[in-house]
Amino acid sequence: MGDHSFRFECRSLIDFKPRSFDLPNDFDVIFFSSIRSAKFLSESKKIDLDKYGIACAGPQTALKLNEMGLEADFIAADASSPELVSKEFSVWLGTRKVFIPVSNRSLHSIEEFISPEQIKRAILYETLLLPLKVLSRDILVFTSPSNVHAYFIENEISAHSVVIAWGHSTKKTLLGYGCQSSVVLKDGTLTELKSILESML
């Protein structure tokens, strides 16, 4: 990134652990909001994923699904906007039924524009908040609502810090703590983040 001197610190403030769950029946499509839900569902050995239509929240999740040998039939165009994802997916889904594997901290945003009669869900894993102390930084990038909640357990955001939110759900969570995001990532890719950081430094 040019001649600028800076240091990155990448630290996740969340962890994940699987939960026992009952697999629902009578559905045609599986919607993955994140690669973790796909990982835990695959590792459960309770389902043959090749027998169902696969949908996901955006290109980055689709890329990770490909690495697992799964091809998404529906990929949301704008993963940063849960409302648009739900609208697009509802149209694509039609009258079919969908299974949505989720975390215990899921916001269920994908369900907003889908008829409740079409939705099957199960909590596959827990998202654990890690109360870690983080040194003040000039730029803070929050990748999820859960990371925001975990950050504020032990930390505050200084007035001089630039705050970047990974999508609108993360932006909304930050607002709940009285923090206005300086930038909201749209595509949710490292390439997009790199471009934004280059423009700041």
How many C-beta atoms surround the C-beta of residue 30 within 10 A? 24
Domain 16-128 - what CATH class? alpha beta
Alpha helices in 1-78 (DSSP H): 35-44, 59-67
How far apart (Å, rounded) are the C-alpha atoms in residues 199 and 68? 34
Fold type of domain 129-200 = Rossmann fold (3.40.50)
pLDDT tens, position by position, 116-169? 999 999 999 999 999 999 988 899 999 999 999 999 999 999 988 999 999 899
**pLDDT value at position 1?**
46
Domain(s) labelled CATH 3.40.50.10090 in the chain stretch across 16-128, 129-200
pLDDT tens, position by position, 59-79? 889 999 999 999 999 999 888
Report residue 29's pLDDT band, with 50, 70 and 90 as the boundaries: very high
Report residue 11's pLDDT band, with 50, 70 and 90 as the boundaries: confident
29, 93 Cβ separation under 8 angstroms: yes
199: Cβ contacts below 8 Å, ≥ 6 apart: none
**What tokens were used for 172?**
């909304």
